[in-house]
Amino acid sequence: MQSKSKIRVSASMVRGAFLVVALLALALAGPVAAKAQAPAATRFLGTISAIAGNALTVKVDANGDRQVEVPAGASIKRISPGEKDLSKAVAMEFSDLAVGDRVLVKLDPDAPAGTSQALQIVAVKQEDLAQKQQKDREDWQLRGVGGLVKSVDPAAGVIVLTSGIGATAKTIAVHTTKATMLKRYAPASVSYAAAQPAPIDAIHASDQLRARGQKNPDGTEIAAEEVVSGTFRNISGVISSVDTSNSTFTLKDLATKKQVTIHVTPDAQMRRLPDMMARMLAARLTGGSGGAGGGQGVRPQNSGQQGGGQWSGQGGGGQGFGAGGGQSGGRAGGGDMQQMLNRAPAVQMADLKKGDAVMLVSTDGSTDVTAITLLAGVEPLLEAPAASQSLLNNWSMNTGAGAAEAAAQ
């Protein structure tokens, strides 16, 4: 009995010891856990939207505007776009900061309660960023390929694209490695800056994709340094209403027969095709002669556009690139359709009217989307289903009229 009693007492003591240890661990972990759950924001990244006295207003990438005081003792440095080594940053004055500059602000933890003061600011000047974006656009134009994803082999790191139309149609093998930068556009976003890293298995058939790197001579293979993919939508129809004050218009998508609200931002690229150009493009894309007609007016009951075309959206360092298939992408009948579209007159939101026939590439969505590129004056094209399905697939409006013409300007 005495032995059993000792065993029971020992077990009780063990349970008590475990309880004490558990309570002690909880007491020690409590403050740490609370701190982990609600960490203080010590830095933020954004774009300067206003400067007043010694204070900055920064449009923060993550959420809204934020004001911060910049005391005389704050460290302010300038760094080149894309540079990650802060040892290469150089000192600059507060007076050298300007609206539009990108800044990383580190807050002073010892600032008086209720105040937000900068301890350090690392800035990328707007003009430096613009120069880098221009170089990136030119590089995407010269060393880039794009198209509609046909297949993905994650194990081999190979993505197969289809690009071009008619006689220029081809497949492109995009070879990726662990060193390849893979990014994907955020849903409902046309901003390259907002694209996030994503694994290769996030890419699916019918996605739109753009890659840049070392191409083989005929552009059918590329060793990709960077890949950007996303899901976008092709829409065509006749505008049923326009709300200029809210920069939106509505139309019935000829493919889905559903009403869609289109948002137009300042970044949208919009052109209106002259009637003769529209007829010529329709004839070329359907195999006719360059001067052939294409009929009058839009016939929705006989027209339509399938979704899933290649996009002509943002990318490559900010203002973007399109989905051309290299230097020869988009050629038909001896002419370069991309250059023809680039030379079409630009239009603004205020120029769009009820009854206009339009074709556009937009963000993905069923009833509410944002326009990326838009063509008005497309009545002859909508009468040719093949044309309406393929024209925007190779439109690279944001890259300009091509590398050769860009160099000559």
How many independent structural domains does the chain possess? 3
In a domain, 267, yes or no: yes
In a domain, 10, yes or no: no
Top-confidence range, 165-174, 211-220, 268-277: 211-220
Are 146 and 263 within one domain?
no
In a domain, 31, yes or no: no
In a domain, 300, yes or no: yes
In a domain, 5, yes or no: no
Q: Angle at Cα 348 formed by Cα 320 and Cα 148, nearest 5°?
A: 35
Are 79 and 158 within one domain?
no
Distances (CA, A) of 333 to 34, 35, 286: 68, 67, 11
Are 304 and 241 within one domain?
yes
- Of 212, 30, 247, nearest to 136 by C-alpha is 212
Are 116 and 153 within one domain?
no
Are 222 and 313 within one domain?
no
Over range 328-344, report the average pLDDT: 54
In a domain, 25, yes or no: no
On whether the pTM is more than 0.95, the answer is no
Q: How far apart are CA 32 and CA 61, in angstroms?
A: 28
In a domain, 78, yes or no: yes
Residue 61 domain boundaries: 43-124
Distances (CA, A) of 198 to 33, 185, 213, 364: 30, 9, 18, 18
Are 244 and 391 within one domain?
yes
In a domain, 79, yes or no: yes
- Of 92, 101, 115, 110, nearest to 48 by C-alpha is 101
Lowest-confidence region among 48-57, 162-171, 224-233: 162-171
Which amino acid is it at 400?
G
Q: The domain that contains 48 carries what CATH number? A: 2.40.50.320
Are 181 and 100 within one domain?
no
Which residues lie across from 50 on neighbouring strands?
57
Alpha helices in 106-231 (DSSP H): 126-143
Per-residue pLDDT of 347-384, as tens digits, reads 999 999 999 999 988 888 889 998 888 999 988 888 76
Lowest-confidence region among 25-39, 60-74, 143-157: 25-39
Under a CB-based contact definition with an 8 Å cutoff, are residues 221 and 168 in contact?
no
Q: Which of 207, 229, 251 is the last residue in one of the domains?
A: 229
- Of 69, 85, 65, nearest to 77 by C-alpha is 85
Q: Which of 124, 154, 171 is the last residue in one of the domains?
A: 124
Q: Check whether 52 has a pLDDT greater than 70.
A: yes
Per-residue pLDDT of 289-303, as tens digits, reads 444 333 333 333 333
Q: Which of 194, 229, 264 is the last residue in one of the domains?
A: 229
Are 219 and 251 within one domain?
no
Are 168 and 301 within one domain?
no
Residue 104 binned pLDDT confidence (cut-offs 50, 70, 90): very high
Residue 288, judged by CB atoms within 10 A of its CB (0-12, 13-18, 19+), counts as middle
Are 396 and 327 within one domain?
yes
Buried b (16+ CB within 10 A) or exposed e, 116-126: ebbbebbbbbe
Are 82 and 111 within one domain?
yes
Are 330 and 399 within one domain?
yes
